[in-house]
Structure 1
Amino acid sequence: MGEAFTVEPIAHVVGGRTEPTDDYWGGVRAIVRIDEKRFTPESAKGLDAFSHLEVVFRFHLTDPTDLNLGARRPRDNPDWPEVGIFGHRNMRRINWLGVSRCRLLKVDGLDLHVEGLDAVDSTPVLDIKPWFVEFGPRGEVFQAHWTTDMLGHYFAAQSPRKE
Structure 2
Amino acid sequence: MQPIGLIRAPYASLTEVPRHGGLSPKVKARIELLPEFAEGARDIRAGDTILVLFYFDRHHDYDLVTTSRKTGQIMGVFSTRSPRRPNGIGASVVTVTHAASGELEFTGVDMVDGTPVLDIKPVDTTPVGVT
Question: TM-score scaled to structure 2, two decimals?
Answer: 0.81
- What is the match of residue 10 of structure 1? 4
- What is the match of residue 111 of structure 2? 119
| 2:50 is the alignment partner of 1:58 | no
The number of residues matched between the two structures is 124
- What is the match of residue 86 of structure 1? 78
CA distance in 1, matches of 2:55, 2:24: 18
Describe the superposition over 1:5-34 as per-residue Cα deviations: whole angstroms up to 9, x where unpaired.
xx1001101232211235353322111011
Question: Counterpart amino acid of 2:33?
Answer: I
Consecutive unaligned residues of structure 2, counting only runs of 5 or more, are: none
Task: Say if 1:14 and 1:81 are closer, same or farther in 2 by CA, change over 3 A.
Answer: closer
Q: Percent identity?
A: 28
Question: Counterpart amino acid of 2:41?
Answer: A
Question: Counterpart amino acid of 1:34?
Answer: L
Pair member with larger Rg = 1
Consecutive unaligned residues of structure 1, counting only runs of 5 or more, are: 1-6, 140-163
Shift of 1:80: 3.8
- What is the match of residue 158 of structure 1? none
Query: Given the alignment, which residue of 62, 70, 74 partners 2:68?
Result: 74
Shift of 1:93: 0.6
Query: Given the alignment, which residue of 73, 79, 89 partners 1:97?
Result: 89
Tell me, yes or no, if the aligned pair for 2:46 and 2:98 is still in contact at 8 Å: no
Alignment of 1:9-28 (within 5 A): 9-20=3-14, 21=16, 23=18, 24-28=23-27
State the superposition RMSD in angstroms.
2.3
3-state secondary structure, aligned to 2:45: helix
3-state secondary structure, aligned to 1:48: coil
Describe the superposition over 1:20-78 as per-residue Cα deviations: whole angstroms up to 9, x where unpaired.
23535332211101110x234x322221165211100011122x34x222x33313x8x
CA distance in 1, matches of 2:47, 2:67: 37
Tell me, yes or no, if the aligned pair for 1:17 and 1:28 is still in contact at 8 Å: no
When you count strand as a share of all residues, which structure comes out higher?
Answer: 2
